Structure 1
Amino acid sequence: MKRLHKSGLRTLQCAAILAAGLVSSSAWAGIYNDGKVLLTGGVFTVDGAGGGGAVPWATISGYETRDGINGSAGFTYVNLPALQVSFYGVNVGLFDRVELSYVDSRLSLNLPNLQTVALVADAAGLDVGTDAWNSTLGMQTYGVKVRLFGDAVYTSDSWIPQVAVGGLYKDNRNVALIHTLGADKTKDYEIYVAATKVLFPISTLVNVTARYTSANEDGLTGFGYCNGGSQTDCHNKRKVRAEVSIAHLVAKNTAIGGEWQQHGSNLDGRSVNVAGLDLSGLTGLLGSAGLGGLSGALTQKKEGDWYDLFMAYAPNKHISFVVAYLMFGNIAVAPAQNGFYFATHLTF
């Protein structure tokens, strides 16, 4: 069963890449088009869906109309004080109705406290999914989005927004490190509903998304939580979380805006653990010994909501750039992770 599951994921990944490649080939020349208005398909999000930097919109990625197909490739780099994240992916929009996407994410950790845990674990012959010199989390995200009704661009005389429903399947590769951080699952699904409206009189796009998920840090640090470092007392309760994007067009090819993405509290205050051993007792012992700084370093902070302020620039319909300042707050044992984001989105 597991073999069939992995095979299915590989097939979906290959299909998404092949579909994006075929869009630009002569085989699709008859149905390829790019008739939509500049920037209205959104840019490439960290989940691969068309939208803002982090929030999926109801619009279908690319510039295809109802008569054609358009494909995209995206790259995003996020530089934070203790973390660096890169996202590579492709998506394809089909007849302005369906969107398929795939993203590979790499999260590099530069956390002395986790490096200390790794050294202790190595000395004890335990695998915690990290080492003293190179800690990396990798995640693959497969997505599909379907426009249900409405048109965010061409029905400006109506208050009915464009509405779409989407699904994401996320699969983390570093199982041991996810469990070291206290999460329940390394792979899970998310469902979202997005509503998008373009207000042409004030050149502004407004999007509201509701996401049904149990993700920690968008899934990069797993899903749900386990009590006491045990993989037997685990919980993965999904909840609906809100997300908002606002983008204002300052020129026909330039937009500025901001986003907010609500996050959960699954791992708040939980100690990292080694091979199922909860370090809460150790952190208490260190605190009583006057080593509270190290004690606190082994305890995960309150997970913060994600905010960003961005500027998107598209010189033409084939390429766009996004620069943003991110306010991610606390991530795992790393406090105040705020920094810059750069993304490029190629459409063909």
Structure 2
Amino acid sequence: MRQAERLAGLGGALLAGALLCADAAAQPAAPDLGKLLATGGVSQLEGAGGGGITPWALITGYGSRDSYGANAHYTAVRSQDYGLDAYGVAVGLADRVELSLARQQFRGSLAPLAQLRIQQDIVGVKLRLAGDAVYDQDRWLPQIAVGAMYKRNRGVGGLGALGVGNVRQLGAKDDRGVDYYVAATKILFEYSLLLNGTLRATKANQMGILGFGGDRGDNYQAMAEVSAAYLINRKLAAGVEYRRKPHNLGVDREKAYYDVFLAYFPNKHVSVTAAYAVLGDITVFNPQRQHGWYLSLQTGF
């Protein structure tokens, strides 16, 4: 309980610090689109700026440190037995603070979970602490940011015949929780390369879609996430991502996520990301390795 209270206090302090930084920033009349193309990243599945499955230290949008930027996104993931749709909005303030809202809608497509429906809401905050991934080319210090994601599961639909309407009835300890992370991102323009490492403290099962904690464990665990992207040209990037996840539920054979992706940035208002993702086993009811396609559209400034 004390650990949970300390972590909750840390999240509150992080949010308060981010809002103070945002309030201290000048209020420009219009966004300046001052950042280089693609340097805001794309929208990650939980709404943060970064790759497809992991947040980066980059602040979303194209607003410079004297301005702001914002975007909206929609992402679809399809595997053999499941589908996930995610959509949301995010804003970057003074290239220092990022605030995001996202909703995930998860569903089954094959028996015995063909009617399964789960929704989750996510509120995110990110604060850049040090470094500049673009302008610090003569230094090895990466851009470093800390962030938090508050997640609230909205319940389980389609399993009424089994008497299941909440993730706690599947073995989760809670239907809401907070992820905390620190991310470090380095862009090496000389090699057309972006490297990112993220360390996340989490109790979430399948990002929180199956709740938080469970019969196998209910403690925060540190999970590593890594990304690498190669800039083929100004508008096109290819890369890989890997994300470790805890295994808290007996009914969920949770495994790491990983993907290979291609992101296209025709201009500073639109980006399209396509990927092939491997999601591992998701439940014992459809016990096979899940894999399939990922497509995301982002629009903003």
TM-score bracket relative to the smaller structure: 0.7 to 0.9
Pick from 234, 247, 263: which aligns with 1:252?
234
**Deviation sequence 1:167-218 (CA, Å, 0-9, x none):** 1000000163412321111100011000000011110000000000011111
Q: Determine helix, strand or coil for the equivalent of 1:36.
A: coil
Q: Determine helix, strand or coil for the equivalent of 1:210.
A: strand
Q: What's the offset of the Cα at 1:30?
A: 1.5
- Given that 1:322 and 1:342 are in contact with CA atoms closer than 8 Å, whether structure 2 keeps it comes out as yes
- Given that 1:309 and 1:324 are in contact with CA atoms closer than 8 Å, whether structure 2 keeps it comes out as yes
- Given that 2:149 and 2:180 are in contact with CA atoms closer than 8 Å, whether structure 1 keeps it comes out as yes
**Deviation sequence 1:291-348 (CA, Å, 0-9, x none):** xxxxxxxxx3521100000000010000000000000010122321100000001113
Q: How do 1:170-319 residues align onto structure 2 when only pairs under 5 Å count?
A: 170-174=151-155, 176-226=165-215, 235-267=217-249, 270=250, 300=251, 302-319=253-270
Structure number with larger C-alpha Rg? 1
Q: What's the offset of the Cα at 1:263?
A: 0.8
Q: Determine helix, strand or coil for the equivalent of 1:244.
A: strand
Counterpart in the other structure of 2:10: none
**Residues of 2 paired with 1:304 and 1:180: CA distance?**
21
Taking structure 1 as reference, are residues 301 and 214 closer, same or farther at Cα in structure 2, changes over 3 Å only? closer
Q: How do 1:130-209 residues align onto structure 2 when only pairs under 5 Å count?
A: 134-174=115-155, 176-209=165-198
**Residues of 2 paired with 1:238 and 1:68: CA distance?**
36
**Residues of 2 paired with 1:60 and 1:107: CA distance?**
27
**Residues of 2 paired with 1:163 and 1:301: CA distance?**
33
* Structure 1, unpaired ranges of 5+: 1-11, 13-27, 115-132, 228-234, 271-299
* Structure 2, unpaired ranges of 5+: 1-14, 16-26, 157-164
**Residues of 2 paired with 1:258 and 1:83: CA distance?**
22
**Residues of 2 paired with 1:29 and 1:210: CA distance?**
34
Amino acid at match of 1:71: A
> How many aligned residue pairs are there?
267
Q: Determine helix, strand or coil for the equivalent of 1:226.
A: coil
Amino acid at match of 2:298: H
Counterpart in the other structure of 2:93: 94
**Residues of 1 paired with 2:152 and 2:71: CA distance?**
22
- Given that 1:70 and 1:347 are in contact with CA atoms closer than 8 Å, whether structure 2 keeps it comes out as yes
Counterpart in the other structure of 2:67: 68
Amino acid at match of 1:213: T
**Deviation sequence 1:30-78 (CA, Å, 0-9, x none):** 2411111111110000111100001100000011110001110000000
Specify which structure has the higher proportion of helix.
1
Q: CA RMSD in A?
A: 1.7
Amino acid at match of 1:205: L
Counterpart in the other structure of 1:41: 40
Q: What's the offset of the Cα at 1:134?
A: 2.3
Q: Determine helix, strand or coil for the equivalent of 1:113.
A: coil
**Residues of 2 paired with 1:162 and 1:85: CA distance?**
31
| Residues 1:80 and 2:33 aligned together | no
Q: What's the offset of the Cα at 1:91?
A: 0.2
- Given that 1:31 and 1:67 are in contact with CA atoms closer than 8 Å, whether structure 2 keeps it comes out as no
Mean Cα deviation higher: 332-341 or 66-75? 332-341
Amino acid at match of 1:196: T
Amino acid at match of 1:312: A
TM-score, structure 2 as length reference: 0.85
Amino acid at match of 1:180: Q
- Given that 2:98 and 2:125 are in contact with CA atoms closer than 8 Å, whether structure 1 keeps it comes out as yes
- Given that 1:145 and 1:165 are in contact with CA atoms closer than 8 Å, whether structure 2 keeps it comes out as yes
Amino acid at match of 1:326: A
TM-score, structure 1 as length reference: 0.74
Q: What's the offset of the Cα at 1:29?
A: 6.7
**Residues of 2 paired with 1:212 and 1:48: CA distance?**
17
- Given that 1:314 and 1:320 are in contact with CA atoms closer than 8 Å, whether structure 2 keeps it comes out as yes
Amino acid at match of 2:93: L
